[in-house]
A and B are shown apart, each in its own frame.
Chain A
Amino acid sequence: MSSPETIKFMESAIKQANLALDALEVPVGCVIVEDGKVIGSGRNRTTETRNATRHAEMEAIDVLLEQWQKNGLSMSEIAEKFSNCSLYVTCEPCIMCASALSILGILRSYFLLCIKEVFYGCPNDKFGGCGSILSLHLSNTMSLNNGVSPGKGFKCTGGIMAPEAILLLRTFYEQGNPNVVDIFFCCDMHIASNAWTIDWNSELP
């Protein structure tokens, strides 16, 4: 069972996802937590920016990076700080975001020190980077040029408030995506609308 604290932070992430839904974005949201406090948050902005890489995680990371540098933190201090943070996101980080999370780490004698822990809601069967398609959090899939893999990635726990996260996505696809063919971020075939399923099939050779 998830601890009350985990649930509390995932509820904040769901709030972010709701903001995305209100803005007609694919509803995925996240918060970044340090020492039991939410220090950053983000939600999907792919439609507004027409930049399909503007996922919730990327948005939240950008906020923290700017803030910490304004506060005068050095790069290694920032890497240390990230390694003390946890991420709560309503949907499993995609391959891009999972990779970004590992890049935010620091390599210390073949040891990758990156974000402490990731909690996510529903899995991402199409392009999840934390177990569904690739397992970038395990970091044994990373290789250095001398062939040695860094020893540690980040801990990853899925299924936190998954029904709530899926419900949001289902609501989004059922109310109709303003860009019907524009699926930037979808978690699960089952929650997609029929229109989207057809589009997906048509892309298969």
Chain B
Amino acid sequence: MNNDFGTWQIVHIPEKEPHDLHQQPTENVVCSVIDPKNANQIVRRLNQIAPLENHRHVKRIHKKNLEGGKIELSVILCLASEGDNQLDGLPPYIHEMISSYQLSPFITKVCKYAATSKEEWQEQCKFWPTSYHPLTYKIDGITGFSEEDSKSVFKFMQSAIELAKSDGLVVNAAVIVDPSAKQIISNARDQVFAWNTCEVDSDIDSSCIRKPGLFNSRSISTGSAPRESFHLNGSSNQLKQPFTSVSCLYPWQWAEQQSQSQGSYYCHPLRHAAIVAIESSAARDRCLFPSEVNIEERYLEFDNESAPAKKQKTICANVEDYDKLNSHSCTSNQPFERPYLCTGYDIYLVWEPCTMCAMALVHQRIRRIFYAFPNPNAGALGSVHRLQGEKSLNHHYAVFRVLLPEEGQHTLRKCCTEVAETEEINIC
């Protein structure tokens, strides 16, 4: 493994389509230098008589540091009217204010729209200060990553990429991480063409009932079984077209699948990597924190064989850290804090998720999404839709793209060139 991430970069994908950084739309406003002594009074009065209703991102006051430690305050009186001489035709109450404080109004520019990124915001403030409040402004990383945090992001992305190409056939891969403990919670590859419906669920679930949290070796081996069948699929018709197996890129590719399903392996058009990783993290949670209620419910359902849906919940992905799970739930009586769903967790995806996966990650309360390659076909985090900017949703994650270097280690370069090839393959 190459741990030199020198040329890797993390880019925040904002909630709205960004403007050209240096060509942001501006608007003229009437403003004036004021005496700092009167600032409070003037601003209060202006907010009453001339509120900047549709310009909430624009700060009313501009503070400038002059030589000798002095400061100069300017205030926006009102929006400028259209026309050549914009200082004419000011409303009477503004005239009144100008004369009572002996102001000398002039015209200046402010940015018309709220910034969508830190870079835009910095650029905006060169005209006139604005505020920057993304929906996710409290989330770490929006305003930049420390060197240590970046390194950890790169390492997790690298493990997602390794996973994506771990079986010859390149698919999308997802790694859910608890960033506070720098621990992998679950990971998964796309399972559209190989879905094991048998045993695994009952295996882990029933072992949970008998001895909560205790995994036996059998469940570990069944957990990794689907990988082999990937290999089988891969040797047939999948390898010829690299990346058509990335389910978020080609969500309709499944229907083209020719091979009949065999044995206990099924095709499942919706088992994209993110969905499987969510399922796996939920299974981990059920095993780590089994509650009385859940155990009773499960017994009931085991008796009730008429519920076929129960069998669907398989845990094909690798649940990480079995030893840790065991030690936590067996040796300690004090359960450590249980997060609600994936609150506080990050997910690393090799490709930008499709709409289904992106919304699934909203439902599961993921805090941050990192992806390496955009998904021009069906991407829902900026390419086709931009779910991180849908205000009505009850949860918002922050989205980042991890830019991989053009040069770099061989495998990654190969990955990058294959992506370029993919973009030329027609979806039909």
B225 to chain A, nearest CB (A): 17
Question: Does residue A190 face the partner (Cβ distance < 8 Å to B)?
Answer: no
Query: Which one of A67, A96, A103, A182 contacts B251 once the chains associate, using CB atoms below 8 Å?
Result: A103
What is the number of residues of chain B that contact chain A, defined by CB distance less than 8 Å?
61
In chain A, what residue has the closest Cβ to B266? A69
- Whether the pair A48, B297 counts as a contact (CB closer than 8 A) is yes
- Whether the pair A142, B384 counts as a contact (CB closer than 8 A) is yes
Given A75-B255, A127-B362, also A42-B355 (CB < 8 A): no
Given A145-B377, A179-B340, also A200-B359 (CB < 8 A): no
- Inter-chain contacts of A182 with B (CB < 8 A): 340-341
Question: Does residue A1 face the partner (Cβ distance < 8 Å to B)?
Answer: no
Beta-carbon contacts of A62-85 to B below 8 Å, as 1s and 0s? 110111010010111011000000
In chain B, what residue has the closest Cβ to A60? B309
- Whether the pair A99, B355 counts as a contact (CB closer than 8 A) is yes
Q: Could you count the A-B residue pairs with CB atoms below 8 Å apart for me: how many are there?
A: 162
Given A53-B363, A99-B356, A205-B133, also A74-B258 (CB < 8 A): yes
Query: Which one of B135, B269, B394 contacts A183 once the chains associate, using CB atoms below 8 Å?
Result: B394
- Whether the pair A52, B365 counts as a contact (CB closer than 8 A) is yes
Kindly state the interface size class of chain A when it binds its partner: 35 or more
Beta-carbon contacts of B129-147 to A below 8 Å, as 1s and 0s? 0000111111000000000
Question: Does residue A45 face the partner (Cβ distance < 8 Å to B)?
Answer: yes
Within 8 A of A (CB), among B266-305: 266-270, 275, 278-279, 282, 285-286, 294, 297
Query: Which one of A50, A66, A127, A179 contacts B308 once the chains associate, using CB atoms below 8 Å?
Result: A66
Given A42-B309, A74-B258, A76-B256, also A53-B278 (CB < 8 A): yes
A197 to chain B, nearest CB (A): 11
Within 8 A of B (CB), among A6-50: 23, 42, 45-46, 48-50
User: In the complex, A205 Cα to B137 Cα: how many Å?
Assistant: 8
- Inter-chain contacts of B282 with A (CB < 8 A): 49-51
User: In the complex, A129 Cα to B261 Cα: how many Å?
Assistant: 31
Question: Does residue A175 face the partner (Cβ distance < 8 Å to B)?
Answer: no
Minimum-distance CB pairs A-B, first 10: A96-B359, A51-B282, A52-B363, A99-B356, A79-B255, A99-B355, A95-B359, A75-B257, A62-B312, A106-B255
Q: Which residues of A contact B (CB under 8 A)?
A: 23, 42, 45-46, 48-53, 58-59, 61-63, 65-67, 69, 72, 74-76, 78-79, 94-96, 99-100, 102-107, 109-110, 112, 125-127, 129, 132-134, 136, 141-146, 179, 181-184, 186, 200, 203, 205
What are 6 A-B contacts with C-beta separation under 8 Å? A74-B257, A100-B356, A105-B255, A110-B428, A144-B377, A181-B340
